[in-house]
Chain A
Amino acid sequence: MSQLEEFETFMMNYQNMVFTTAVRLLGNETDAADISQNAFLKAFEHFETIRTSPTAGGWLKTVTTNLCLNHLQRYRNRWRMFSELRNEKEDESSFESDLAAEVPVDCLGEDERSILEKALARLPEAQRVPLLLYHFEDLSYEEIAARLRVSVGKVKTDIHRGRDALKTKLKLDAEGEPVGLRVGS
């Protein structure tokens, strides 16, 4: 098997994982596809080393996460420098109004995972990114704060708000069951 064929197999094994990581962190499919492409180009550069490594998947996920965080950091810097018109509070209030507009009165007929995926994508970046790093990458609050260059307090608050927003969106009760389902059953 040639190196390209081997790499194609490698890509087929990991492309969904890489794309999923990117699309959840970025909340945008076009950017996620670009980042996934860059992650695989990096993988190709190091393919001699990673082709037999049992940790290739972890390495690829870390590379993808880092590329996404760099991408977001770059846009955050631009936003900070050139725009004073919007702020985080506005982001959050617009998200909450989106939430109010989109939450169906009765979500019995909706696929819960699909709602969760959409709700996640609509979370403000400041809440979505730390929430994902905490729950999917298993990073601690301190590690997330260091990666995002913000305070630990902000990380905790943003994650808490993100969870609250998801809970609202899913209409979950204290036990984690959809309210509509409980009422209906």
Chain B
Amino acid sequence: MNNQPPDPGLEELIGRKLRTLPERKAPASLRANVFAAIRARAARPWYQRAWFEWPRHLQVLSLVLFLGFSGALGWLITGHEVTLTSLSPVLAERVSSVGSEIGWFLNLMTAFVRAVPASYWMAALGVLAGMLFTCAGLGSAFYRFVVLDLRKD
């Protein structure tokens, strides 16, 4: 790269000239556009806004619901008093049947995996990783250069 030495005289001169430039007048439509955008934002329904902008009673309600749901989920996962059999014997039987089918399938897959040499699996994983990164890269590029562009236009 051509790394030219700075010229203090020219720097001072151009700086001085640039500072004499007056401000440009903003277009007359700018204020109207900003206020239209502010009004459009204010008219959005609560569910299109960030949680912090929700009405207070909806914030409280959503918080209570979230805490209640989380608590119930935690109680179901960790509590031993409630089992699937006590809730529904028929459902428990079906789950058990599906479980045994899954077990059989897993045994079959394990036997298959052991039968194929490890180097083949490594190659397959490499191909899959390559495909994944290619898809992610193309998707990101498409979003950044096409979708964002279209939104702007």
Contacts and interface: CB of A to CB of B under 8 A. Distances in A.
A59 to B, nearest CB: 17
Contacts of B150: none
A81 interface: yes
Interface stretch (A49-57, A95-103, A155-163): A155-163
A33 B31 CA distance: 10
Interface string B78-122: 000000000000000000000000000000000000000000000
Given A23-B24, A78-B145, A156 B14 contact: no
Contact of A153 (B3, B21, B144, B145): B3
A113 B21 contact: yes
Contacts, number: 107
A41 interface: yes
Contacts of B24: 16, 19-20, 23-24, 117
Interface residues of B, number: 38
B48 interface: no
A94 to B, nearest CB: 19
B37 A113 contact: no
Point out which of B15, B20, B24 has the most chain A C-beta atoms below 10 A from its C-beta. B24
30 contacts: A19-B26, A19-B27, A20-B23, A37-B33, A40-B30, A40-B34, A41-B34, A41-B38, A44-B38, A74-B148, A77-B144, A77-B145, A112-B17, A113-B20, A117-B21, A117-B24, A120-B18, A135-B14, A136-B18, A153-B1, A154-B1, A157-B1, A160-B4, A160-B6, A163-B11, A167-B10, A167-B14, A172-B17, A174-B9, A176-B13
